[in-house]
Chain A
Amino acid sequence: GQNIDQPTEMTATEGAIVQINCTYQTSGFNGLFWYQQHAGEAPTFLSYNVLDGLEEKGRFSSFLSRSKGYSYLLLKELQMKDSASYLCAVRNFNKFYFGSGTKLNVKP
């Protein structure tokens, strides 16, 4: 089966840095994706890793270790608008397997 684990909820302070972890065990791997989903809205794409290492996109960075089945999303200089759920997804050819998401609460 497919297993993707993320913490259910995290809280951080505006301006701080937060790291959201994701561990996975899947039968195949063609990439790991991070999506952001604000309450009542559609998920939107944040980042993608297929090789080990760090990918940086502005305030967001994502890291992947395929040998460990591990990824994290790093959010810097947190803003109130970053309060949302963050979904980790593993792609196996045409299928995407999503974790249950991490709800991030950003406090002033």
Chain B
Amino acid sequence: KAGVTQTPRYLIKTRGQQVTLSCSPISGHRSVSWYQQTPGQGLQFLFEYFSETQRNKGNFPGRFSGRQFSNSRSEMNVSTLELGDSALYLCASSPGTEGGYSGANVLTFGAGSRLTVL
């Protein structure tokens, strides 16, 4: 069973540019969530998608956006990049349920996309 796949693994951008990151969840998983990981802040929740709908959003500015496709693949976009956006962006998938609460649904993480903004 293939794991969670994130592309690209590494990328370097300059301030003001935009970036799109991709995540392919485990087959059959319908929930995809995104996290930003930095040494100082740890893992911070960005947003969660289920069946192409954003169900939850963390406390990030509107420059951070995402979407989910009908095959559950997800993308996140960061526009007008700032130096502080340099981080590891992790995608995680889980089976998910319609009602939201899904017991012991465990997050399975991808290896991440490491973004460096110069």
Q: Which of A12-20, A70-78, A97-105 contacts B (4 or more CB under 8 A)?
A: A97-105
| A42-B111, A93-B100 known; A101-B42 Cβ under 8 A | yes
What number of B residues sit within 8 Å (CB to CB) of A? 27
| A42-B109, A42-B110, A44-B109 known; A98-B43 Cβ under 8 A | yes
Point out the residue from B42, B101, B110 that lies within 8 Å of A93, measured CB to CB: B101
Within 8 A of B (CB), among A3-58: 30-31, 33, 35, 41-45, 48, 50
Does chain B have a CB within 8 A of A94?
Answer: yes
Cβ B104 vs Cβ A50 within 8 A: yes
Residues of chain A lying within 8 A (CB to CB) of residue B101:
30, 93
Q: How far is the CA of A48 from the CA of B108 in the complex (A)?
A: 13
Q: How far is the CA of A56 from the CA of B86 in the complex (A)?
A: 38
Within 8 A of B (CB), among A79-108: 87, 89, 93-101
Chain B residues at the A interface, C-beta cutoff of 8 Å: 4, 31, 33, 35, 41-45, 48, 50, 55-56, 58, 90, 96, 100-101, 103-104, 106-112
